[in-house]
A and B are shown apart, each in its own frame.
Chain A
Amino acid sequence: MKVGVCLKQVPATDTRIRINGAGTGIETGDVKFETNPYDEYAVEAATQLKEQKKATEVVIFTLGEAGAESRIRDALARGADRAVRLDDPAFAGSDSLGKARILAAALKAEDISLVLCGRQAVDTDSSSVPAMIAELLGFAQASWVDKLSVDGGNFSANRAAGSGAREVVTGALPAVVSCDKGLNTPRYASLPNIMAAKKKPIVVKNAAALGIDPASVGAGAALVVETRLTLPPGRPAGRILQGDAATVAAELVSLLRNEAKVI
C-alpha cells in the first residue's frame, strides 16, 4: 500500500496578518511559513503505517512553489520516502476544487491507495480539499479523524460527528482521511534523518506532466473567488472591574444581565 500525504505550508500561527494595499491578499514579505499543523499529524500517521509494515512507501504531495521545499524536506526527515511538488504558473489562483484536481491527478499517477491530509489548512480554513479529492478519485473518505487503523484493504477511523460526538466508521481502501489533533504526537526529526532527507528525491511536476488541461485549474477556472480581504473590526474598549472577589463577581453577573444582556 502506497500512502500519500498532502502537505501545505502556511503562515506560522503566531503571524499578525496584514492585508495588502489592493485588499486582494496578505502581505507575505516578512511572514514565516511553517508546515500546516494538521498536516504534521498526517505525516506522523503515514510514518507509523510504514513502521508497522502496512505502508510500502510514503510520498509527500505539495502544491506550491520552490519555497515550500524546506517544509517538504522536514516531512522527509520525519519519515516520508520521497515527494512530488506540483508547480505550474497555470495553477495560480486555483480555488479548492482546482487544487483538489491538481492533487488528485498527482495522487492517481502515483497509484496511491491511502491519502492522508490535515483536517484543514490554517490559512484558508476551508477544510474542503480532502473530500473533493475523494470525490474526484472515487475514494472513500473520513473527515477530522483522531484514531485510525488500517488492516489489509480496510480501515477503521474515528471521525468528527455532530454536537462534539465522534463516530467509528469502517471502509475499504482506497480512501482519503483528514487528520485531526489527537490522532498522534508528531515526532521531531533526528539529526541523522535530517541529513538523510537531503538526499531523498523531490520530483517537480507541471500541468503537462500531470495531464491536466491548464484551463481546468487556476484563476480562470475558479468557481469561488475572494473579491476583497479586510481586517476584523476592533472591539470597543472594555472595562476593568475593581474590588474583592465577591464584589466583582456580583457586579459582573449584574452587568452581563442588565448591560450586555447575555444571560
Chain B
Amino acid sequence: MSKNILVFCETEAGAPRKSALELLSKGRELAAALGASLSAMVIGAADATTLGSYGATTVYAVSGDASSTEGVVTAVQGAVSASGATVVLASASALARDAFPRLSARIGAGLVVECTDLRVDGGRVVARRPIYAGKALADVEVRSAIALYTTRPNSFPLSASGGAAAAVVAVSPAASAGTTVKLVEVLAPAGATVDLTEAERIVSGGRSLKSKEQFDAVVRPLAASARATPGASRAAVDAGYAGHGDQVGQTGKVVNPTLYIALGISGAIQHLAGMRTSRVIVAVNKDPEAPIFQHASYGIVADLFEVAPALQKEFQKALL
C-alpha cells in the first residue's frame, strides 16, 4: 500500500481551524519527502474546498461525536483504518490531548505529543518536542507501523497549495461499546479572546501589578489594544490577580506566540519555560537585573504603570 499521511482537522462552525491548516501545510512537506499522499479527516461535514487548497487530496468525513472522548477515538480509528495511514497528525488541542493517548493504547500506535517540529531523515519521521517545559528538546522516533503525532499550534507557517477540492470519502465507524461519559454543559472562558495556547500575541502581567484591580486596569486593556490574549505569571495567579487558566509557565500553559509582552515579570525559570519559544519577547520591568531581560528581544527598564498606558495608546494608533 502506498504511504499516506492523515491530518486530523478540527473544525469550528464547519470551517477547519487555523491549526489544522498549519498541519496540512507541514503535512504536504512531509508527504513530499516520504513519497506519501496527504489526506485530511474531519468529524462531521468536510469543507473539501479549503482542505484541498492546503494540499489534501482526500478528506475522510467521519460520522461521530466530537464532544466525547470515545467518539473522537472511534472516529480517528475509523479514518486511520479507511485511509491506511501510517502517519497521523493532529493539533495538540484539549480534544487531541484527551483522545490520542487512548487511541494510541487502543491500536498499539506510538504517540509523540506536543511536537514543535517534524522532519524526514533517512525516510523516517523525526519529531522534536520540548521536555522539562522546554528546558530541553528531544528528538523522537516511533517504531510502530502507525505513528501518531500532536503538534503545538503556531509551530508551522500556513502555506496554501492552491490544490483542487479534496475528494470526500464518507466513513461511518461502528459505534463502540464505549464508556459512559457524557457532555453536560460547555462553560465558555471568561474573556472572548483566543486561548493562550493558540494565541499569536500575549500580554502577561506579574506580581508587580500588586492587585487584581490593577491587573484588570492595566494588563487587560493593553492586551485588548494589541489584540492579544492576557496571561499571568504564577505569582500573579497565586495572588489572585488572574485565574489559573491564565497562567503561563511550567505549571500553567506553555505558549508559542509571535509576540509576548511581559509586564512586571521577573522571569523565574518556571515562567521562562512556558514562553521561551515566543518569536519576539518584550520585557517591561523596573529592575534592570531581572532575568527576563536576558531573554527579551526588546527591553524597557521602567515602571510598568507608566509604560503600559503609553503602549496602549501606540497600539491603538498602530492597529486601527
Contact = CB atoms under 8 A, between A and B. Distances in A.
A, B co-complexed: yes
Interface of A: 11, 13-17, 19, 26, 37-38, 95-97, 100, 122-132, 134-136, 138-144, 146, 156, 158-172, 175, 180-182, 222-232, 235-236, 238-241, 245-246, 248-250, 252-253, 255-257, 260, 262-263
A249 B318 contact: no
B101 A248 contact: no
Nearest to A180: B244
A143 B109 contact: no
B111 interface: yes
B299 A253 contact: no
Contact of A168 (B105, B141, B185, B297): B185
A263 B203 CA distance: 13
B113 A122 contact: no
Contacts of B106: 135
B143 A226 contact: no
> In which size bucket is the chain B interface?
35 or more
Given A141-B181, A182-B244, A252 B311 contact: yes
Contacts of A236: 297
Interface majority SS (helix, strand, loop, mixed), chain A:
mixed
Contact of B315 (A96, A128, A235, A253): A253
Contacts, number: 280
A142 to B, nearest CB: 7
Interface of B: 10, 67, 69, 93-95, 97-102, 104-106, 108-114, 126, 129-144, 179-189, 194-198, 201, 226, 243-245, 247, 250-252, 254, 258-259, 268-270, 273, 276-277, 279-283, 293, 295-302, 306-307, 309-311, 313-315, 317-319
A164 B132 contact: no
26 contacts: A15-B135, A16-B269, A97-B110, A100-B105, A122-B250, A122-B251, A128-B104, A135-B102, A143-B98, A144-B94, A163-B195, A164-B189, A164-B245, A167-B184, A168-B183, A169-B182, A170-B182, A172-B180, A182-B244, A224-B112, A224-B143, A229-B137, A230-B139, A231-B137, A238-B297, A240-B301
A24 B201 CA distance: 34
A258 B293 CA distance: 21
A131 to B, nearest CB: 4
Nearest to B126: A227
Contacts of B143: 222-225
Given A167-B187, A263-B259, 17 more contacts: A96-B104, A127-B113, A128-B100, A128-B104, A141-B181, A143-B69, A144-B98, A161-B94, A224-B140, A226-B138, A226-B139, A236-B297, A239-B297, A240-B293, A245-B309, A248-B300, A253-B317
